[in-house]
Amino acid sequence: MPNGIFQVPPPINEPVKGYAPGSAEKATLKARLASMMAEEVEIPLIIGGKEVRTGKTGSAVCPHDHGHRLATFHQAGEAEVKAAIAAANAAWKDWSELPWSDRAGVFLKAAELLAGPWRDELNAATMLNQSKTVYQAEIDAAAELVDFWRFNTHYMRHLYEEQPSSAPGIWDFVEYRALEGFVFAVSPFNFTSIAGNLPTAPAMMGNTAVWKPASTAVLSGYVIMKILHAAGLPDGVINFLPGSGSTVGNPVLASPDLAGIHFTGSTPVFQHMWRTVGEQIADYKTYPRLVGETGGKDFVFAHASADVDALAVALVRGAFEYQGQKCSAASRGYIPKSLWPAVRDRVEAHIQAIKMGSPLDFTNFMAAVIDQSAFNDHKSAIEQARASADANVLFGGGTDDSEGYFVEPTVIEAADPLYTTMREELFGPILTLHVYDDARLDETLASCDTASAYGLTGAIFARDRFTIAKLSAALRHTAGNFYINDKPTGAVVGQQPFGGSRASGTNDKAGSVFNLLRWVSQRTVKETFVPPKDFRYPHMDES
Ligand code: NAD
């Protein structure tokens, strides 16, 4: 270990670029988008730093133009999973024993590479393969991932500083060891930043990882691996295994060396993994740490004192940005009858002004949903609402998958506060609103609290301070990220640590010291300088 108690550069949130007409960033990104559209790359697995091709391939397409293939990716089978675990185990000793400042250097460098020369590459991959508009890609793939790497490095140092006190003649300290074994990182399609954070947060703390990206977001995952390689991450520390969930997941969970799972995705998949680990608990060398951020049924609750203009904007941005495919997206709303005509008019006007189409056209506010299966689910939820006596499709509802998977921004009005889409996650651009009688505030708050199994994000809109306090208290356990007079999306690393409870996850707050704490195993050391030489205590002398 070098002599010196190093600081890390004070983290600052990466500024979000505007991509305004005539800007330099717009010109370079447009150029990369055009060249990426003209390429078809082949994405290998990366095991122990080596590219592995299995010949069992899948296609990475543009959801807004599903006939266009961006890449072919190789998929892992059981043999590759075993090789990846072996590579993670082989890299573990050197990496876990490397001074923390050297590990920090890798991720600080990765942050600067992404903020600079790799920014267009990761933004373009995210826009094309995950169908994000330029702004949605920029706040995710560029800004948030840079923030994860800068802030986590800072939190790592902060965590290591947490030390016990020592009595006279004794020296106590805590060493934050890496977990013994490897961490399985499993990422969702919807955030490139989350995909980058899931394997790197444990790796920063000295662990090695096997990373399975979502099959609908492989291109951005591959770019992240290239950035980490360029930043000097040693071979085998993170092993990249695209492939089907169960084909990769089952052999990984069967490994006795599994030391942790860092998951973001849907609730049923995490529950399946937790159950599998539980069933095999006696087979592991250590108790695997289970960290999962999962689904949501995020709400906007308006009080009669709400500012209607702000409320309408929050509903529209919260529900429809990135086509509602954010775990934090507003998907249910409670609107008092006294405000309803004004809210309805404003929401309708905003929706009419929304442009939807390819992210290559920067004037679009929305693009396509991720794949055929998501499209089919949304279409069928809209058809069910049309057929239901308890619900009414107020705005939108149109769908078209001829070229891309397009679902219009849709508002359902539900007379029943327990209507299906007021309770269950849909993960698409569908907002369900329930209009409540102003006099039934308490009852409606109770319904908001209990209607869904989730507890991820929620927002209240009110001007009166007593009301804000009352609503905050009534909805205390409904959300791990709670917003007052703001939309329930858009958490920023270092500012609003993110995560929810109930069926939404273990609430270990991605991008915070609390998350990093899960990836270390503490060794408490007590050194006694002058140990006793007599076993007897004073009370043993009678006189
Ligand atoms: P998903 O659960 O379908 O997939 C997530 C990942 O799990 C993918 O990589 C998938 O291949 C993998 N997987 C599936 N079955 C598996 C198995 N048996 N073993 C191992 N891995 C398996 O989720 P998705 O559609 O990619 O993402 C959307 C979901 O993610 C939504 O429910 C959303 O709310 C949630 N999400 C939550 C947060 C949060 O912070 N709470 C953030 C983003 C997304």
Q: Which residues of 323-332 are buried (b: 16+ CB within 10 A; e: fewer)?
A: bbbbbbbbbb
Answer yes or no: do 306 and 277 share one domain.
no
Could you tell me if 211 and 84 are in contact, meaning their C-beta atoms sit under 8 angstroms apart? no
CA–CA gap between residue 52 and residue 241 (Å, rounded): 10
Answer yes or no: do 309 and 411 share one domain.
yes
CA–CA gap between residue 142 and residue 352 (Å, rounded): 30
Could you tell me the two tokens for 23?
A: 């800007």
Return the half-sphere exposure (C-beta side, CA atoms, 13 A cut-off) of residue 175: 11
Answer yes or no: do 136 and 243 share one domain.
yes
Q: What is the DSSP letter of 256?
A: T
User: What is the 270 CA–ligand 1 centroid distance (Å)?
Assistant: 8
CA–CA gap between residue 222 and residue 241 (Å, rounded): 10
Q: How many domains are contained in the chain?
A: 2
Residues labelled catalytic: 293, 327
Share of the chain above pLDDT 70, in %: 100
Could you tell me the two tokens for 430?
A: 């569908």
Residue range 212-270, pLDDT digits in tens: 999 999 999 999 999 999 999 999 999 999 999 999 999 999 999 999 999 999 999 99
Residue 355: other Cβ atoms inside 10 A: 10
Ligand 1 atom, smallest distance to 244 CA: 11
Report yes or no on 541 lying in a domain.
no
Residue range 64-78, pLDDT digits in tens: 999 999 999 999 999
What's the confidence (pLDDT) of residue 2?
A: 80
Closest CA to 416 of 439, 446, 400, 392: 392
What's the confidence (pLDDT) of residue 542?
A: 84
Return the residue whose CA atom lies nearest to atom 11 of ligand 1.
245
Residue range 442-457, pLDDT digits in tens: 999 999 999 999 999 9
CA–CA gap between residue 534 and residue 538 (Å, rounded): 11
Residue range 299-312, pLDDT digits in tens: 999 999 999 999 99
The amino acid present at 439, given as its one-letter code, is A
Answer yes or no: do 268 and 329 share one domain.
no
Residue span of the structural domain in which 357 resides = 298-484
Could you tell me if 298 and 456 are in contact, meaning their C-beta atoms sit under 8 angstroms apart? yes
Report yes or no on 344 lying in a domain.
yes
Report yes or no on 128 lying in a domain.
yes
Residues with CB under 6 A from ligand 1: 186-191, 194, 212, 214-215, 245-246, 249, 264-266, 269, 272-273, 293-296, 327, 425, 427, 456, 498, 500, 504-505
Return the half-sphere exposure (C-beta side, CA atoms, 13 A cut-off) of residue 482: 17
What's the confidence (pLDDT) of residue 311?
A: 98
At 173, give phi and psi (nearest 5°). Answer: -155, 165
Answer yes or no: do 281 and 165 share one domain.
yes
User: What is the 100 CA–ligand 1 centroid distance (Å)?
Assistant: 31
pLDDT beyond 80 at 1: no
Could you tell me if 238 and 199 are in contact, meaning their C-beta atoms sit under 8 angstroms apart? yes
Cα 182 vs. chain centroid, distance in angstroms?
A: 21
Which of residues 484, 518, 538 is at a domain's end?
A: 484
Answer yes or no: do 73 and 214 share one domain.
yes
Instruction: Kindly give, in sequence order, each residue whose CB lies less than 8 Å from that of residue 295, ignoring residues fewer than 6 positions away.
Output: 266, 267, 327, 425, 427, 454, 456, 503, 504
Closest CA to 429 of 311, 349, 319: 319
**3 state SS of 212:** strand
Return the residue whose CA atom lies nearest to atom 18 of ligand 1.
246
Average pLDDT along the chain: 98
CATH number for the domain spanning 261: value is: 3.40.605.10
User: What is the 413 CA–ligand 1 centroid distance (Å)?
Assistant: 28
Answer yes or no: do 448 and 353 share one domain.
yes
What's the confidence (pLDDT) of residue 326?
A: 98
Instruction: Kindly give, in sequence order, each residue whose CB lies less than 8 Å from that of residue 156, ignoring residues fewer than 6 positions away.
Output: 8, 100, 103, 104, 204, 205, 516
Return the residue whose CA atom lies nearest to atom 28 of ligand 1.
265
Binning pLDDT at 50, 70 and 90, where does residue 4 land? very high
Q: What is the DSSP letter of 393?
A: E
pLDDT beyond 80 at 543: no
Residue range 426-444, pLDDT digits in tens: 999 999 999 999 999 999 9
Report yes or no on 162 lying in a domain.
yes
Answer yes or no: do 191 and 228 share one domain.
yes
CATH number for the domain spanning 331: value is: 3.40.309.10
Report yes or no on 495 lying in a domain.
no
Could you tell me if 357 and 365 are in contact, meaning their C-beta atoms sit under 8 angstroms apart? no
Structural element, H or E, at residue 375: helix 372-387
Residue range 395-433, pLDDT digits in tens: 999 999 999 999 999 999 999 999 999 999 999 999 999
What DSSP assignment string belongs to 287-352? --EEEEE----EEEEE-TTS-HHHHHHHHHHHHHGGGG-STT-EEEEEEETTTHHHHHHHHHHHHH
Instruction: Kindly give, in sequence order, each residue whose CB lies less than 8 Å from that of residue 251, ignoring residues fewer than 6 positions away.
Output: 78, 81, 82
Whether this prediction's pTM lies above 0.85 is answered by: yes
